[in-house]
Structure 1
Amino acid sequence: MPLSKLKKMFSNLFSKSEISLENINSLGNVYVEKPEGWFDKLKGKYGVAYRPVVKNLEARFTEAESQKQTVLKLRHIDVNYGSAFRKFKAVKDVSLNIYKGEILGLVGESGSGKSTMGNVIAGLVNRSFGSMEVLGKSVPKKRSRIKKDLRYFLINKIQMIFQDPAGSLNPHKNIFKITKEGLDNLTNLKSLFLKMKIDEIILKLDEKIKEYNLENTLNWNLKNLEELNKNSTNQAIEFLFSKFNTKIKALSKDSESIELKRIAAYLAVSKTEVKNLQSSNLRKEKREWIINTLKSVGLDSSVLERYPLEFSGGQQQRIGITRSLVMRPTLLIADEPISALDVSIQAQVINIFNDLKDEYDLTMLLIAHDLRMVEYVSDRIAVMYKGRIVEIGKSHDIAKNSYHPYTKSLLDAIPSLESKQGSLIGYVYNPEMHKYTDKIQPEWIQISQDHFILATHEEFNQWKNGNY
């Protein structure tokens, strides 16, 4: 095919969504897609993929980003299923931040795109458009483009709990093999165990030093030592068992202090434990690690030699949670973790998430359709409808002070003792109520701190007055 014809074909193919770099600035505030593979670079010769940014979008993030650590950053995410000519857009222009230590609830009806978003974040589904960053590291759109180092990084940082506990557990493996599988696949497992062991030693030392009122005598700084271990465990080991240990021994000789001798004895025992760990094959450590994690979800070591089908649905879900937790992820994605469970068990699993958040300093994306359950455990809630986020805010604001008609319909669908006699359906959201055109488009309107709604100002004023 002649080159001129090929150029024309590509020009026609991308003309609807792309524009030349020379003309991009004329469009105002737009998001420009960065080229990743050869196909994107080929397209880039004829134009760049872009999208107009919804007005006030960055206002949702500016204040929070300055105060909190961003674990996950999503901008303008699309997910398409099907071919170019029969394309279904499951997720449309989703932008989201998840911050360190929070539980973000993602709610919506079946088919709203919630689980697709979870799968995109976990790397199980390719996104079609938009950018994704995990702890500042950019993640390519396609899984095939994720390099080895980044893949290990993501496995360490992100884990997922699936909706169907029975279907996600291998029936031919016992619980010990299922829960240790992730640990076996980690190449840096020994480094991880060493880092956690040193953290444990540092905290124990801090406790003893403060109990004996020796902070000033020893020039003790907990934060600096924790930061040193975070950056280099080998340097932390060198400091503790060489420099700090020498200092303790010298002071204890001069002062004959019983407290200093106790600290020196603890350091000697700890040094032996660290040496044993450095030369270990980690079999014993893995087993102890898994047993401790099982205890945190209400199970014990007696389950390790049994098989998934021997357990109830609630117990299977706890095992699924354990499998994810043994990796000590920074971000845990829970995809409808309670929908397949009996109502009496749902509250138990939700309470487990509450406890785990504090125990492991977890950051979590909790995907569900039960807004009341999500409200109970989440710090913030994002409401999703047909692939778009339409309202986002603190849990209390969404539950008690929401404005979007779709959020109202979700809340009205929840039975309560205060419900008026009559229809159980309550308010039904009709998407045709929006009169959007090319010139009239919704924007992000701030209602209160961290509470935003996607609407026009005219719509918001109507909804604020109760006119739906």
Structure 2
Amino acid sequence: MQTAELNKQLASQQIFEDVNNSIFAKSLKLFGYDNKKYRHATKGLKAYLDDESKDREIVLKVRHLDVTYGTSLHKFKAIKDVSFNIYKGEILGLVGESGSGKSTIGNTIAGLVNRSFGDIELIGRHVPKKHSSAKRSMSEFLMNKVQMIFQDPSGSLNPHKNIWNVVKEGLDNLKHQRSLYLKLHIESVLKILDSKLVKAKLVLPKSWNRKQLLNRNIDGDDNLLDYLKTSFMEELKQANPSRNKTLAQFQKYLDSANSKTNHLLTVKSLAEPKRQWVIDTLKSVGLDTSVLDRYPLEFSGGQQQRIGISRALVMRPTLLVADEPISALDVSIQAQVINIFNDLKEKYDLTMMLIAHDLRMVEYVSDRIAVMYKGRIVEIGKAEDIARRSYHPYTKSLLDAVPSLESKQGSLVGYVYDPDMHPYNQQIQPEWLKVREGHYILATAEELADWKQGKY
């Protein structure tokens, strides 16, 4: 078979990634083959990813992710061929028992752990695989776009710093603070302007598209307000010639917004906007200015977690990764923290990955849920579908492990998943099968047919 034809077939059937200059790779290159590492892709994966991403803005794209710990004979593959998307404005819940690989995925996305295979894209930008000069050059980008909330609030907050210094630390480490303040000021202006336009019932110019303008403002575009103040207002006046009084109010608002923009661009010290920024962030999680001079160990676990959320949120990240943020808290405090996430989602249009082992708690706040078992996603779908209409036996065991007030059973022991129940071998392998719109399961067709009939 000709080399070109072989490469074409490999590319169409399998996914691949560049490898190091091993003897094997050099030998392949010598004979004209691509210097790539190949792996068979799970059947049905492309259909599943294409189907769920229709008309949705992807914030995070993960493809064929592997994470391996250790070296040589002591290697352990914690994550095996994981692929998924996270969409703008959604909360994706990632659930599974301890050791399933949930936290490893979160740490890999945040850049704390290197992946051994696969690809990660954040807002369309490829994240380098290893700690290299390319990855170091992206540190500012990752710091600004991805933030993490850790499981143990007391262990993740510096006990020797007061809350003011803890929360503002990320801003201090950011080289381009001014760009962040500018970006979020303009973002606020666009949202307020959109609300005012709807309320005033004006005829909108064709050029008005808040989503496109927000995308244009992704790194802070000070020319955007100039456009709104001049060209956009001219178009608005032409479309609404008889609404002079209302249009004058819009012009006044944009003049005021432009004045604040000029102040942010020219002010020498950013101490004042930084302080106000931190205070506003603390208020969004239910804390006030009285906490600024106190230290982390003076607070309860729930309050410490609120401070941890503030520290991450002050950067206004594009993606927030919360690694079991409620597992170290008692049940009453867990509900408060989950409610905070709900409020923040509405206020900041938050995009988030929520990692937890309590499927019922995750259901309450998530838009979609992915279920993990031994380093692989086995079922993914809308939160309601996973919680009430799931079929994978492992998902069933997670649901049965949560005590229910309506349960008539005398024992807490529910269905226990047995991984040996699957007839997988070299010829029989699971594939991604569609259960319903946006709901996919990793199984064989025969297994899914049996599970739908309750045969486990």
TM-score (norm 1): 0.86
Alignment of 1:4-23 (within 5 A): 23=6
Q: 1:466 to 1:176 in 2, by over 3 A?
A: same
Aligned residue number for residue 360 of structure 1: 348
Percent identity over paired residues: 59
Indicate whether 1:188 and 2:176 are aligned.
Answer: yes
Give 3-state SS (helix, strand or coil) of 2:27's partner: coil
Superposition deviation, residue 84 in structure 1? 1.7
Partner residue in 1 for 2:226: 238
| 1:341 counterpart = 2:322 | no
CA distance 1:56–1:202, change in 2 (3 Å): closer
2: CA distance between counterparts of 1:184 and 1:389?
37
Shift of residue 233, structure 1, vs aligned partner: 2.0
Distance 1:268-1:395 versus aligned 2 partners, 3 A rule:
closer
Please say if 1:403 is aligned against 2:382. no
Q: Select 2:25's aligned residue among 41, 44, 49.
A: 44
Find the counterpart in structure 2 of residue 150 from structure 1.
138
Select the residue among 134, 152, 156 that pairs with 1:168: 156
How far apart, CA to CA, are the structure 2 residues paired with 1:256 and 1:145? 56
Closer/same/farther in 2, CA of residues 106 and 247 from structure 1, 3 Å limit: closer
Cα shift at 1:417:
2.0
Q: What are the superposed Cα offsets for residues 301-329 of structure 1, whole Å, 9 maximum, x if unpaired?
A: 11111100000000000000001111111
Output the CA distance in 1 between the equivalents of 2:103 and 2:191: 39
Range that drifts further, 343-352 or 203-212: 203-212
Unpaired segments ≥5 residues, structure 1: 1-19, 250-254
Counterpart-to-counterpart distance in 1, 2:218 and 2:74: 49
Distance between the aligned counterparts of 1:137 and 1:42, measured in 2? 31
Q: What is the alpha-carbon distance in structure 2 between the residues aligned to residue 24 and residue 219 of structure 1? A: 47
**Cα RMSD (Å):** 2.9
Amino acid at match of 2:361: M
Report the Cα offset of residue 444 of structure 1. 1.0
- The residue number in structure 2 matching 1:436 is 424
Aligned-partner SS, 1:339? coil
User: CA–CA distance in 1 between the matches of 2:8 and 2:216?
Assistant: 45
Once the two structures are superposed, what CA deviation does each residue of 1:30-84 show, in whole Å capped at 9, x if it has no partner? 111134xxx3476532343211111101111112223101111111111111112
How far apart in 2 are the matches of 1:108 and 1:210?
43
In 2, are the aligned partners of 1:162 and 1:335 still within 8 Å (CA)? yes
8 Å contact from structure 2 (residues 180, 220) kept in 1: no
Contact 1:248 1:264 (8 Å CA) reproduced: no
Name which of structure 1's ranges 21-30 and 299-308 shifts more when overlaid on structure 2. Answer: 21-30
Tell me, in whole angstroms, the C-alpha distance in 2 between the residues paired with 1:424 and 1:135: 44
Residue 31 of structure 1 aligns with which residue?
A: 15
Q: Does 1:93 align with 2:81?
A: yes
* Separation in structure 1 between the aligned mates of residue 199 and residue 283 of structure 2, nearest angstrom: 29
Q: 1:282 to 1:432 in 2, by over 3 A?
A: same
Of 262-271 and 63-72, the range deviating more from structure 2? 262-271
Match of 1:307 in 2: 295
Contact 1:206–1:222 at 8 Å: present in 2 too?
A: no
What is the Cα deviation at residue 265 of structure 1? 4.8
Taking structure 1 as reference, are residues 376 and 211 closer, same or farther at Cα in structure 2, changes over 3 Å only? closer
Post-superposition CA distance 1:383-422 (Å, at most 9, x none) = 1111111111111111111111111111111111232334
Shift in Å at residue 219 of structure 1? 9.3
Match 1:276 to one of 263, 283, 286: 263
Among residues 367, 372, 375, which one is paired with 1:379 in the alignment?
367
Distance 2:106 2:389 in 1: 26
CA distance in 2 between partners of 1:180 and 1:92 (Å)? 37
Aligned-pair CA distance for 1:199: 3.6
Rate the CA distance shift 1:303–1:95 in 2: closer, same or farther, 3 A.
Answer: same
**Partner AA of 2:18 in structure 1:** K
Aligned to 1:4: none
> 1:454 maps to what in 2?
442
Q: Which amino acid aligns with 1:361?
A: D
- Cα distance per residue 1:192-241 (max 9 Å; x no partner): 2123323444555566666667657x998463765664576232243356
The separation in 1 between residues aligned to 2:378 and 2:228, in whole angstroms, is 52
Q: For 1:392, which of 372, 375, 380 is the aligned residue?
A: 380
Indicate whether 1:66 and 2:54 are aligned.
yes
Per-residue deviation, 1:455 = 1.0
Q: Secondary structure at the match of 2:132?
A: helix
The correspondence for 1:139, drawn from 102, 119, 127, is 127
**Contact 1:248–1:263 under 8 Å retained in 2:** no
Q: Which moved more, 1:276-285 or 1:229-238?
A: 229-238
Residue 329 in structure 1 maps to residue 317 in structure 2? yes
- Structure with higher Rg: it is 1
Q: 2 CA distance for matches of 1:330 and 1:136?
A: 12
Distance 1:131 1:24, change over 3 A: same
Label 1:445 to 1:205 Cα distance change in 2 as closer, same or farther (>3 A).
closer
**CA–CA separation in structure 1 for the residues paired with 2:320 and 2:234:** 42
Shift of 1:26: 5.5
Change (3 A) 1:134 1:99: same
CA distance in 2, matches of 1:256, 1:60: 49
For residues 100 and 261 of structure 1, the distance between their equivalents in structure 2, rounded to whole angstroms, comes to 34
Give the superposition deviation at 1:276: 2.4
Closer, same or farther: CA 233–166 of 1 in aligned 2, 3 Å = same
* Shift in CA distance, 410/200, structure 1 to aligned 2, threshold 3 Å: closer
Q: TM-score, normalised by structure 2?
A: 0.88
1:240-279 map, 5 Å: 240=228, 262-263=249-250, 265-279=252-266
Equivalent residue, structure 1, for 2:282: 294
Separation of aligned partners in 1, 2:14 and 2:243? 70
Counterpart CA distance in 1 for 2:436 and 2:376 is 21
**Matching residue's letter, 1:63:** D
Alignment-mate amino acid for residue 26 of structure 2: K
CA distance in 2 between partners of 1:79 and 1:300 (Å): 41
Decide whether the 8 Å contact of 1:229 with 1:235 is kept in 2: no
CA distance in 2 between counterparts of 1:198 and 1:276 reads 13
How far apart, in 1, do the equivalents of 2:367 and 2:231 lie?
Answer: 43
More deviation, 192-201/307-316: 192-201
